[in-house]
Amino acid sequence: MEPLTVDPGFFAIELEHLEPATVLAFDLFLWHPGRRPLHYRHRDLEFTREIQARLVANGVQRLLVPAGQLGHFERYRAQHGKSDPAPARAAPAAGRPPAPPLHPAEARLPALLADREQPLDRRCAALLGVSRRVVEAAMADLALPGLPERIHHVAEATGRFLMDEPAAYGTMVQLMRLDYSSLSHSQHTALYTTELALACGLGDLDEVAAIGRAALLHDIGKAGLPPSITEKDCPPDDPDYPRWKEHAMRGTSLLREAGWDDGTCLEVAAHHHENADGSGFPAGLVGAAIPAAARMVRIADAFDSLTTAYRNRPALTGFQALWRMRREMGAWFDQPMLTVFIESLIAPGGTRRR
Ligand SMILES: [Fe+2]
């Protein structure tokens, strides 16, 4: 299958994702290479067998959905998907005890972030501190009571903060630690991914938070593994590489075992090492077959890995990292998304599409 890159304001779906005789809560666009997507069908209309047959007869295998309607599509898949039911929101599994109250620092975070009397760098530091604490809790015990709520709380607070104060992104990037660790890496990746989701046009806080949660947990498959596996950027010629690669599928297993049924988290844990040219793992997915959230995390993950120091490998500057991502690793990434990512670093908030 040819790699597919689309306008960053859209994500691609397979025709087979759509069930005949169902009502779609999202718009459908046709994709033509090099042209603007063409509006094909309005949301809230029935997707009939006749329409399906017409698309098949015209050789259409993929359609586009506006990025801002990702959550509607995920809910549709959860309802009608033949496999991989994917509710958009994290929810405690049935039978779980009620979530305990949030830690005071976590509970007061939204109010602190919204308090413009407080210096911006103080609010940014508070958010980084809370997100680190939550990632640490997840890495220690994914089944911890109240953890889904805490992950959602910090992801939503991050999304709202970046929406309301675009300048916060640049300040947080300046404050981030530049030594690699699995905790700080998850935290950084979530921040970059959340900003990228906003810059790609997602304006619905629930959808932005869903992607932020998934980014916070993308490497959860490393939980409990020895530092020789977790704290390294493992090249293919390393003897530990086969074991290191397993963290992707292990992540989804750990999430499912802990009762997580958040489809975006499951997809991102599994597919955040897929490359657009099909050279990634675990499935070797190509282009738009890779879930949009996983494509975003792939970019954020790579940028953080390159710009943080690990043992004898010094951190690259942002410019060096982006140069390498564009020139040497470019085939791995969704190109329109990479362009938006670069623009978002240059002018935080300035490229957001509403
Ligand atoms: Fe990973």
Percent of the chain exceeding pLDDT 70 equals 86
Work out the average pLDDT over 101-126: 91
Please report, for residues 112, 130, 211, 285, 342, the alpha-carbon distance to residue 108 in angstroms, rounded to integers and kept in the order given.
Answer: 6, 10, 22, 41, 32
CA angle in degrees (0–180, nearest 5) for 248-252-253: 110
Work out the average pLDDT over 296-310: 92
Tell me how far the alpha carbon of residue 219 lies from the centroid of ligand 1, in angstroms.
5
The residue that leads in pLDDT, 288 or 95, is 288
Tell me how far the alpha carbon of residue 233 lies from the centroid of ligand 1, in angstroms.
9
The least confident of 10-19, 63-72, 209-218 is: 63-72
Work out the average pLDDT over 152-177: 91
Q: Classify residue 197: in a domain, yes or no.
A: yes
The per-residue pLDDT for 3 is 37
Work out the average pLDDT over 123-138: 93
Residue 219, pLDDT above cutoff 90: yes
Residue 316 is encoded by which pair of tokens? 């690259």
Q: Classify residue 61: in a domain, yes or no.
A: yes
Q: Classify residue 98: in a domain, yes or no.
A: no
How many whole angstroms separate alpha carbon 255 and alpha carbon 180? 24
Residue 90 is encoded by which pair of tokens? 């994290």
The residue that leads in pLDDT, 219 or 61, is 219
Q: Classify residue 243: in a domain, yes or no.
A: yes
The per-residue pLDDT for 333 is 96
The per-residue pLDDT for 293 is 96
Q: Which is nearest to 325 in space by CA: 291, 346, 349, 300?
A: 300
The least confident of 56-65, 128-137, 251-260, 292-301 is: 56-65
Residues 323 and 180 in one domain: yes
- Tally of domains in the chain: 2
Tell me how far the alpha carbon of residue 164 lies from the centroid of ligand 1, in angstroms.
30
Tell me how far the alpha carbon of residue 160 lies from the centroid of ligand 1, in angstroms.
26
Which of the residue ranges 42-51, 70-79, 229-238 has the most confident prediction, judged by mean pLDDT?
A: 42-51
How many whole angstroms separate alpha carbon 269 and alpha carbon 349? 27
Residues 71 and 203 in one domain: no
Chain mean pLDDT for the chain: 84
Tell me how far the alpha carbon of residue 33 lies from the centroid of ligand 1, in angstroms.
31
Tell me how far the alpha carbon of residue 243 lies from the centroid of ligand 1, in angstroms.
12
Residues 151 and 254 in one domain: yes
Tell me how far the alpha carbon of residue 159 lies from the centroid of ligand 1, in angstroms.
22
pLDDT, tens digit, for every residue of 66-107? 766 666 777 787 777 654 433 333 344 445 566 677 788 899
Tell me how far the alpha carbon of residue 297 lies from the centroid of ligand 1, in angstroms.
9
Tell me how far the alpha carbon of residue 192 lies from the centroid of ligand 1, in angstroms.
15
Tell me how far the alpha carbon of residue 256 lies from the centroid of ligand 1, in angstroms.
17
Q: In the listed set 80, 113, 135, which residue is the last one of a domain according to the structure? A: 80
Residues 313 and 196 in one domain: yes
Tell me how far the alpha carbon of residue 227 lies from the centroid of ligand 1, in angstroms.
14
Tell me how far the alpha carbon of residue 272 lies from the centroid of ligand 1, in angstroms.
6
Tell me how far the alpha carbon of residue 44 lies from the centroid of ligand 1, in angstroms.
37
Secondary structure string (H, E, C) spanning 148-188 = HHHHHHHHHHHHHHHHHCCHHHHHHHHHCCCECCHHHHHHH
Tell me how far the alpha carbon of residue 75 lies from the centroid of ligand 1, in angstroms.
26
Tell me how far the alpha carbon of residue 248 lies from the centroid of ligand 1, in angstroms.
6
Tell me how far the alpha carbon of residue 50 lies from the centroid of ligand 1, in angstroms.
42
Give the domain CATH number at 146: 1.10.3210.10
The per-residue pLDDT for 309 is 84
Q: Classify residue 352: in a domain, yes or no.
A: no
Residue 285 is encoded by which pair of tokens? 């997915």
Residues 208 and 276 in one domain: yes
Residue 4, pLDDT above cutoff 50: no
pLDDT band at 9, cuts 50/70/90?
low
Residues 74 and 117 in one domain: no
Q: Classify residue 2: in a domain, yes or no.
A: no
The per-residue pLDDT for 81 is 67
Residue 169, pLDDT above cutoff 80: yes
Residues 128 and 229 in one domain: yes
How many whole angstroms separate alpha carbon 31 and alpha carbon 129? 42
How many whole angstroms separate alpha carbon 109 and alpha carbon 158? 10
Please report, for residues 27, 43, 51, 100, 200, the alpha-carbon distance to residue 39 in angstroms, rounded to integers and kept in the order given.
Answer: 8, 11, 14, 46, 19
Q: Classify residue 354: in a domain, yes or no.
A: no
pLDDT band at 336, cuts 50/70/90?
very high
Work out the average pLDDT over 186-194: 95
The per-residue pLDDT for 350 is 55
DSSP assignment of 51-110 equals HHHHHHHTT--EEEEEGGGHHHHHHHHHHH-SS----SS--PPTTPPPPPPPPHHHHTHH
Q: Classify residue 94: in a domain, yes or no.
A: no
Residues 58 and 117 in one domain: no
Tell me how far the alpha carbon of residue 308 lies from the centroid of ligand 1, in angstroms.
15
Residues 75 and 108 in one domain: no
Residues 74 and 155 in one domain: no
Residues 306 and 216 in one domain: yes
Residue 319 is encoded by which pair of tokens? 């410019």
Q: Are the C-beta atoms of 193 and 215 separated by less than 8 Å?
A: yes
Q: 248 is in which domain, residue-wise?
A: 104-346
Residues 63 and 108 in one domain: no
